[in-house]
Amino acid sequence: MFKNKLKEKLINGEVVIGPFLKIVDPAIVEIAGKAGFDFVLIDTEHGPISIESAQNMIRAAEVVNITPIIRVLENDEGKILRALDIGAHGVEVPQINSKKQATNLRKAAKFSPQGERGVCCYVRSADYSQINSSNELKRNYFKNANKETLIIAHIEGLDGIKNIDEILEEDVIDVLFLGPYDLSQSLGIPGEVSDIKVEKKMKEIIEKASNKNKIIGTFVDNAEDARKWIAAGVQFIAYSVDVGIFYNACTNILTDLKL
């Protein structure tokens, strides 16, 4: 059973920063932790990471004391369950566009009485059945999982924006994550994440979320945008992707060395 330091930081009003990961190697997680990031987003939606690889990446995260979150492929009960059973400290779920979808996410990620997450005591999150050694451990497992698991809902399209007031009613969701790239596509300007239309919609949601004391997250790929959205009230910053970070480092080296 784990203590979610990331969730504690967010509740305390701190800004947290971490990258998306697509490279299938626990060493990437260790490097992110040693560098001082708050979390890693293990991306099983876009990229080749399997559930077995994700489990080893979670182990690496716990070694270096960085919070492991899995972005699942879709808002699917089975996929959310598997991510949590292998020990993810949270899940990030794409395309939450209605109150019903938000409620389904809550049911899949939380045990009773908050939800309907499938129960198995023979998985990594339950210490491979060690919790069965006493009723107290078993009770604490379910209670702790409900308390510590971080739930992040992606708001990526116009339907999500239209239904944002209803989605905000789902109290169990910890972070509303605004996906600027999918949002730009839904507005007919794919990839133009700095367009005034995209920024206007994002700021509208940030204001509504702030009025409901909800935490907002978003994706950035440079420090300037990170500072801009932090100033606008965003606490959860997904900073770029491991492959992009490495690519940029390589190109910068080559640029510096060219004579």
For position 112, what pLDDT does the model report?
96
- Three-state secondary-structure class, residue 93: strand
CA distance 87 to 94: 20
- Whether the model clears a pTM of 0.85, i.e. scores above it, the answer is yes
Angle between helices 26-35 and 51-63 (to 10 degrees): 30
CA distance 218 to 234: 7
Reduced 3-state DSSP string for 160-181? HHHCHHHHCCCCCCCEEEECHH
Instruction: Give the CA count within 13 Å in the CB-facing half-sphere of 198.
Output: 23
CA distance 196 to 118: 43
CATH class of the 5-257 domain in this structure: alpha beta
Read off the pLDDT of each residue in 135-139 and give the average, rounded to a whole number: 92
Contacts of 32 (CB under 8 A, 6+ apart): 18, 19, 21, 40, 64, 66, 242
For position 186, what pLDDT does the model report?
84
pLDDT at 31 over 80: yes
Considering only CA atoms, which of 150, 148, 146 is closest in space to residue 113? 146
Any bridge partners for residue 154, and if so which? 177
DSSP secondary structure string, 190-201?
Answer: TT-TTSHHHHHH
> pLDDT band at residue 56, thresholds of 50, 70 and 90?
very high
pLDDT at 7 over 70: yes
For position 258, what pLDDT does the model report?
86
CA distance 146 to 72: 18
For position 117, what pLDDT does the model report?
97
Read off the pLDDT of each residue in 92-102 and give the average, rounded to a whole number: 95
For position 259, what pLDDT does the model report?
61
Length of the chain: 259
> pLDDT band at residue 78, thresholds of 50, 70 and 90?
very high
pLDDT at 158 over 70: yes
Average pLDDT, the chain: 95
> pLDDT band at residue 166, thresholds of 50, 70 and 90?
very high
Domain ranges of the chain: 5-257
